[in-house]
Structures are given as structure tokens and as C-alpha cells.
Structure 1
Amino acid sequence: MAGAGGRAPLGLRRWLSSPAPAPRVCVVGSGPAGFYTAQHILKHHGGALVDIYEKLPIPFGLVRFGVAPDHPEVKNVINTFTQTAHSERCAYYGNVTVGRDVTVPELQQAYHAVVLSYGAEDNRVLGIPGENLPGVYSARAFVGWYNGLPENQDLKPDLSCETALILGHGNVALDIARILLSPLQLLRKTDITDSSLAALACSKVKRVWLVGRRGPLQVAFTIKELREMINLPGTRAVLDPADFTGLESAVKDAPRPRKRLTELMIKTALEKPEEMQAAAAGAAAPREWGLKFQRSPQEVLPSADGRRARGIRMALTRLEGSGDSAKAIPTGDVEELECGLVVSSIGYRSLPLDPAVPFDSQRGIIPNSSGRVEGVPGVRPVSFSDWEKIDATEVARGKAAGKPREKIVDPAEMLQIIGH
């Protein structure tokens, strides 16, 4: 059996040369999910061999390319992943693109199990007019740019405007806002790329709005990231107290993390910081950021010459339902906001890997049942001890009928007995 170009997959060659066949697992993707999978298999399945395939020459996926450069503590997990990669039962094969250099059917023949943990390589689209104008970026591309993801190295975002708008209320949205507004001396001590640092040094952005379709009780960011944003030096938060009216009582019985997060937003909205008073007295206003709620993007507005984004039109929404299941319904009213930079942070989206693997293009996922890919026959070998379970069941059923055994004739039932 050969891969593209007549080669057997690297992991298969390793197995063929090993002294005794052992359970072999292939993990596609070397991000956190891939390494945690490998770690778990090596720990709980003695003797199993794990091969990790990665399309880039370098490992670690989102730990390297997704975690903000000013969050080095989150990247410490790389040390654990490195230990896993050093295991004699684990092999890493970078610069191998599954679906091109080797196919999934080839991997299925070579391994007992193939785990697809290649992540979401695309972003969800807004589906609105103007989203392809210069000045509009996906969060995935923007984060990839400042984190040194090879495919985003030439992004060169235009940071010549004063106001940026980020669509989304998650931690990634806060990361981007923080990077845009952070003092350069803080960023210089991080692993941010030199070219991104140079671009941020020339940035004119001094105001960032984070916009969400729903309300304060539905934000997806966490309290640690919010607190970090609130405490960012030289920057003030602009939160409208009217957005939080009545929420203290509404959140009283909410889970503790949601309650604390909401209370921090309310406290920040009601505070009158010294900077605000200084600004009112005529002093130069510092950089600022704010949260806008119940606004859904309708159109990115072009500049007069039509060559770039100059603003965004948003539909005002009302909420139907409560909690995480609340839905944003347009009210009919609209609002326009001037901004020269728009970053869409509404989630990532997977792409199909190989024609042999089913893919739901509507939802951007591989159809699965509790993680097992649907529509693909998974090769699950039956051991001799598994057969003995089937044998015992046949004998027990036969005994009840006064026979030596009652043969089971349905293979699905046989597999059910052994838990496959």
C-alpha cells in the first residue's frame, strides 16, 4: 500500500519495522486536541503506538498560533506536549498534509484508529454586503497575523483609523481589542512577531467597540479576560449603565461565574474613573474600549470611493427568551457607526479534509456520534478474548434451550455483546 507518490505512510513503515504489532493510532493535527488525545492513549493503553501528523513543519496548533502573545502562562502546556512527543511510543510527522500527501483510506488501512483533530481552519462568514471590503478581517486571520501563522504573514491590516469595531463578545474578541490598545512596552516583552509590533507602533487606533447581537447576560468571555481588559494601562472602559438596568436581580440565581462576570460589568459601568474626569476637564483622552449590546451587523459601509470600509450599519435587536438560549430578534431600527477597521470574531469553521470523510458543509462539521465519524466503517478488531465473550453468550443461551449452544448469526449483535 502506498501513499501519494508511491510511499507507504511514515507511521506504517515504522509499524512494519517494529518487532511485534501493537495497537496503532494515528492522530491528524498537532494542536491541543491532538496532543491531549495522544497523551491519553499513551497513558491508558500500554503498548499502543501513536503517530501525530501535522501539515505545518511546526507543532502545537492554537497554543502557538491562537493564544495571545501576552498570555505566556497558557503556553506552558507546550512543555507537557514536548514530553509526550519524546515518548518512545509517540512519533511526530510534520510537513505532512493528510488528504494530499497521504489519504484517509490509506491511514485507515495502516492504523487501528484514525483520530481527526485538525481543527477549524476557516472562519464563519457574516453573510452581509461589504464584508469583503479592505479593512474587514476575520478574527482568525487577524490573530494569525500577530501570532506568526505562516498563511497570515502578509495580511498587513490597515491600522490608520481611530475607531475599530470587533463583532463578537468572546475571549478572542477581547484578545484582539487588548492587542490593539496595549502599550507597546508590554507587547515588546512577548513573542509577538516583529512585523506586527512595527505595524502596531504606527497604529492610529485609539477606540475599540466590541459589538454583540445579544445582551450582557449572554457574553461568552470570561471574568479573567474582562478584568485584564478593564485594568489595561492607559485605557478606560466605556460601558453604558443603561445596558445593565435590572440585571443585578436577574442574575441573583445565576451560576456563580455568570453572576460574578455580570457584577464586574455593572461595577465598571457605574464607576467614574479619574481619567474620565480628566478628559472632561480638557485633558487628552486615553485610549478607550466599550461593549455594545443587542446590535446585529447588516452591512459594512464603503468609503466614498468604494475602496474600503468606513463604517457599519447595525440592526437593533430585542431578546426573546432568557439565559444562553435567548434569541436576538431585529426591532426594525438601525444604527450606523463610523469605523475604519472591522474584525469579525463570530467563530471558526472546519473545512473538509479528504473526499473519503463525510462533511456537513451547512454546519461546517464532520457528522459524528459522540465523536465517532458517521458514514465511515471504523475498523475495530475483535480480539480472541472478545470472541470468548460471544462464545459464553452462545453457550448460556443454548443451555437455557437444552442445546450445546445457540449460535448468534447477526454480526451487529456479536459486536454489541463485546461493546463495539
Structure 2
Amino acid sequence: MPHIITQSCCSDGSCVYACPVNCIHPSPDEPEFASAEMLYVDPDACVDCGACVSACPVGAIVPDSKLVPEQLPFIPLNRAYYPDRHGQKVPPTSKLAPVPPAPEIQRGGMPLTVAIVGSGPAAMYAADELLTQHGVRVNVFEKLPTPYGLVRAGVAPDHPHTKKVTKLFDTIANEAGFTFYLNVEVGKHVSHAELLQHHHAVLYAVGAPHDRRLDIDGMDNVGVHTATELVAWYNGHPDFVDLPVDLSCERVVLVGNGNVAMDVARILTADADELARTDIADHALAVLRESKVREVIVAARRGPADSAFTLPELIGLTAHRSVVLDEYAQGLVREDLAGEHDELTRNKLDILATLSDADGDERRIRLAYRLTPKRVVGDGRVQAVEFVRTGTEETHRFEAGLLATSIGYHGRAVPDLPFDEKAGVVPNDDGRVTDCPGTYVAGWIKRGPTGFIGTNKSCAQHTVHQLVEDFNSGALADPAHRHRSELQRLARERQPQLVDLAGWHAIDAAEIARGAGVRPRDKFTRIAPMLAVAATAPRPTWRDRLREAITV
């Protein structure tokens, strides 16, 4: 029986290279990989060896015999990606997916040393690629005491499988040559110029932390948030613990219908007892237990065929939540189904066509289409949101007590680097930052907010290849300060509360212990408790310090 890739697929691509018969596509060398919503197993070519299961960092691949009911739609979804062979098995092939070669260091002398700013997926994948070479040193700087970026603070708490990728990141962080500088902010505690004095190169993988803003009247009312703020709030990001989220209203309006909007809608309508078994932040869980929200309207400017959410997200959402369409939206779905669309869009429309406008006591998510935001109504606090029917002057008003916008992300300028304000990225040529020798970018700050967790792997690999090529050519000068002890001394002088790998391990272990086996972890959401726990971690002995002092 073949294996099936399910909703939590992160497009890491590790399964592609593990497969001995090359039956998982699109592979990273294929053009479709950059835009694919997930990867697919060819059921006629799969030999059921299970190699992909071990390779998958998020547990997304399971035998078809072990699928739970809500995962069954992924069987035809996997098959639909491949041509109909009328039940004929595909002969096993010895042609494997081409594995991209590791960047080979050919320059002698001082080993390559690289500073990576940020600790999310792009940063960790870049570190992994660099550390394939013997002697390379990678120092990762993160402004929070906890690493892994949006995997920790952005993935929805009810998607625990996706968070399993942190096990891979933990493995990378424990590699020889890797050092964490957590709770150290570049631009505040150390400058870009100082990093270059201690490294051959600096690679920024800082993501796109800002939201695109909705420019309509009334956005200054209390009760207006961005979806990103809400995600950070319920995931326990220290900067958003005190976000004033008021769920005493019966209706919430979300503008935008991408996966992040769907995550927020799902959490706001979830059973609090179910969420209590996840790693959701305690303060958010307390508010959700008292929530009066009965309906979340997810409003999109365009029609159903242009829905921004992915097909796997829609399958998962409709399997677990009451999702409804009003009569107008149902008519739009029928209109779109009559047109010509690719297989992916048609599959989305087929699922949308099964949704009704059922009423009842159950909390529901209502998908609404062709609505362009006009203004927020309120006298200091949100009371309603007005839309116009896209392309017309017809006005629609929804009474609501909270509005959240989810219309895309935007990068933030990095100190001492050029910045393209319109695109929200650091200008670069294949990862090399324009007019900044020795400086590189990977992830969303390089290419914009596109792709999934695993998409950052190929992005980071490409940047690292450019970096190593420059190192080999002599374009990267040896740093003025060569001993790692010099960097550690500088960082600790500037930030005495620096958290190292041992400190992170202490925080990690404490959070898991706080979960008491009922929850994956009970997160610390304030900096002070994190630092207090990190301070209990074993400190390096004098022998360790001596070894570091004499190691170049």
C-alpha cells in the first residue's frame, strides 16, 4: 500500500531525496516546487518502503491504511497530481531525484565563519547547509531568549505536527561549530560592522515581521488588530502578551482569506478544552474560555476561485469546523465551477460547493467573497465593518466587535543595509546584498513572503552556495578578530543576559515539564522567567573556557 502526504506537509523536500524510486514530486529541481502547496506521492510508483516517513521532519507522511477519517481526502489529492494510468503500476526506477551538491570549501587558511541573524527556518536551514563542511563555524543571533521564529510563534497551536520540525532544528543547533547567541539583538547590542569584524560573512534571515496595513477609515478604533498580532498573542510571543483582545462580542470579521486568516478563524471558534491540550499561551486560553464569539466572517475581495488559502488547509478546516457559505457565495462557487481552472483550484471549488448556510448553536466560520473593505464603524471601539460588493457600489454591513486584517506580510528595514520599501525586501542578487560585500539574505527578507516552512530550505541552500563561492574566490576577507572567545566576550559585555544553547535547553526542558504530560509544553511568555530559568543551566568549566580561548 502506498504512503500518503497529508495536511502538515511543510515542503521541506527531505522526503524527495530519501525516496529510492523518485516517486515524490514536485522535487526541488522542478519548476513547480516554488509554488506547490504541498508535495505528492505517486501511488502507482510507491514501493511502500517507508523511507520518506523517517525523512519527513513534520510527520506528514503515513500509510494509507493508517489515515484517520479527516485525512482520507488526501488519497485522491495525491493521486490527482499524477496521470491516470488505469491501475497500472509504474516500473521501479533507478533514477533518483538529483540531490543538490553541498557547497565545497576549497580555500585554505582560516576556516569559514558566518554570523546568521535570525533563528527561524531560513536561518536554521542555512546553518545546516554551512555545517556540511568541516571546520565551518556558525554563530546564530536571535533577539529573543528562545529560537526558531515563526515555528514557535507563528504555527497554530492545534497544528502540533508542523512544529515537529523543531526537532530537526535542535539537531542542527547541537552540531559542532554551531553557537547560539540568544537574547542578543543585532543593531542594539552588536552592530553589523562589528559582526563583520568577527566573521567572513553575515547572513540575515529575519523574515517579514510586519503586516500590510488596510487603509480605510476607522482603523484606529479599539478592537482592530492584525491577524499576525493575534497569532503572536495566542502563541505567547513576549511582545504581544498584553495585546487587549476582547472576545465579548458575538461576531468577528477577518479581512483576507489566506492560511493565517484561516488559522485565526479556527482558533477563535475552537473548543477551549481542546486547545487546553495544546501549547497555546495561558493568557489566550483564559480569554478564549470566556469568549462569546459565535461567528467569524472571513471576507475576501475576489471570488472563490481566487481563494488564497491552500487546499490542504481547506480540507483540514472543513473536517473539524462548521464552515458555511451564504446563498450569494454559493452562487459564486457555481459560477466559478462552470469556468476553466487548474486541478488545484477545481478541487478547492468542489469542496466549497459542498458547504451550506446551515444555522445552529455551533460556532461557525462564514466564508464571504467579493467584499472590498470600506470603513470601520465605531465611536472609539469597533461596532461594525462596512464593505462594498467588489466592482459595484452595493454596501454590506456586518455588526462585529473585533476586526482583524490578514492581507499579507511586509519586511522591515535592517540597520545598515539597503531596503526596498515597496517590495519589503533587502535588495539582493541571488542572496548577495546589493553594495554590501560580505552580507547575504535568505528567506522572506530575500524573496518576499512566499512559500512554506520547507521552502526556505532550498532558498537558504542557494544563498549559502553564493556565500561559499565568494569565500573560495577570496572575495571575503578574513575577519580582524579571529578567536571565538573575542566574540563571546564582546557579546556578554554588551548583553550580560545572553542565552546560549545550554540556556535554551533549560528553558525548553522547563516548558515541557510545565506541560506535565497533558500539553506538549506550557510556554513562558515573559522574558524575565525565561532568563531566570536559562541562568540555572550548567556553566562552562574553566577547561571549556580555555579550550574556546585557544580555538580559532
**TM-score, normalised with respect to structure 2:** 0.58
Q: Which of 173, 190, 195 in structure 2 is aligned with 1:85?
A: 173
The alignment partner of 2:418 has SS state of coil
> 1:144-183 to 2 correspondence within 5 Å?
144-183=232-271
Q: Which of 103, 116, 137 is the matching residue for 1:27?
A: 116
List alignment gaps of at least 5 residues for structure 2: 1-108, 440-469, 477-552
* 1:246 match: secondary structure: helix
2:131 match: 42
User: 2:221 maps to what in 1?
Assistant: 133
Matched position secondary structure for 1:108:
helix
For the residues of structure 2 that align with 1:369 and 1:32, how far apart are their CA atoms? 21
Shift of 1:365: 2.1
Equivalence for 2:386 = 313
SS at match of 1:63: helix
SS of the aligned residue for 2:157 comes to: coil
> Where do 4+ consecutive residues of structure 1 move more than 6 Å?
none
In the alignment, does 2:375 pair up with 1:267? no
Partner of 2:196: 108
Measured at CA, do residues 246 and 236 of structure 1 come closer, stay the same or move farther in structure 2, by a change above 3 Å? closer
1:294 CA drift (Å): 1.4
When residues 381 and 75 of structure 1 are mapped into structure 2, their CA distance, relative to the original with a 3 A threshold, is closer
Return the offset for 1:164: 0.4
Contact 2:301–2:369 (CA under 8 A) maintained in structure 1: yes
1:298 and 2:374 are equivalent in the alignment: yes
Instruction: Give 1:178 deviation, angstroms.
Output: 0.5
Residues in 1 aligned to 2:350 and 2:256: alpha-carbon distance in whole angstroms? 20
Q: Which residue of 2 aligns with 1:376?
A: 436
CA distance in 1 between partners of 2:140 and 2:194 (Å): 15
Q: Compare 120-129 and 187-196 and name the one that shifted more.
A: 120-129
Aligned CA RMSD, in angstroms, stands at 2.1
Deviations 1:350-394 (A, max 9, x none): 21221x20112333221222222113233744658x9xxxxxxxx
Which of 414, 419, 423 is equivalent to 1:359?
Answer: 419
Contact 1:53 1:92 in 2 (8 A): yes
- Measured after TM superposition, the shift of residue 345 of structure 1 is 0.8
CA contact (8 A) 2:385 2:399 kept: yes
* Offset, 1:236: 4.4
Q: 2:402 maps to what in 1? A: 341
Per-residue CA deviations over 1:10-54 (Å, capped at 9, x if unaligned) read xxxxxxxxxx720111110001111111112212x3332111110
Q: In percent, how many aligned pairs have the same letter?
A: 37
Does the 8 Å contact 1:316/1:333 carry over to 2? Answer: yes
Matched residue type, 2:387: M
Q: Which structure would you say has the larger RCO, counting Cα contacts within 8 Å and 6 or more residues apart?
A: 2
Which structure features the higher share of strand residues? 1
Contact 1:182 1:232 in 2 (8 A): no
- What is the rounded CA distance, in whole Å, between the counterparts of 1:109 and 1:367 in structure 2? 23
In structure 1, distance between residues paired with 2:473 and 2:389: 61
For residues 280 and 316 of structure 2, what CA distance do their matches in structure 1 show?
18
1:220-235 pair list within 5 angstroms:
220-232=308-320, 235=322
Q: 1:291-338: CA deviations, max 9, x gaps? A: 111111121111xxx1201111212214xxxxxxxxxxxx33332221
Contact 1:212-1:293 at 8 Å conserved across structures: yes
Corresponding residue of 1:14? none
Give the counterpart letter for 1:263 in structure 2.
D
- 1:180-203 per-position Cα deviation (integer Å, ceiling 9, x unaligned): 001122111100111111100111
Cα distance in structure 2, aligned partners of 1:21 and 1:145: 44
Rg comparison, structure with higher value: 1
For 1:321, the equivalent position in structure 2 comes to none
Mean alpha-carbon deviation: is it higher for 369-378 or for 182-191? Answer: 369-378
State the match for 2:361 in structure 1: 285
- Matches of 1:315 and 1:114, distance apart in 2: 47
- SS for the counterpart of 1:36 is helix
Residue 150 (structure 2) aligns with: 62
- What is the rounded CA distance, in whole Å, between the counterparts of 2:472 and 2:312 in structure 1? 48
Give the structure-1-normalised TM-score.
Answer: 0.76
Q: Which of 336, 358, 364 is the aligned partner of 1:247?
A: 336
Kindly provide the amino acid, as one letter, of the partner of residue 434 in structure 2.
E
Unpaired runs of 5+ residues, structure 1, are 1-19, 319-330, 387-420
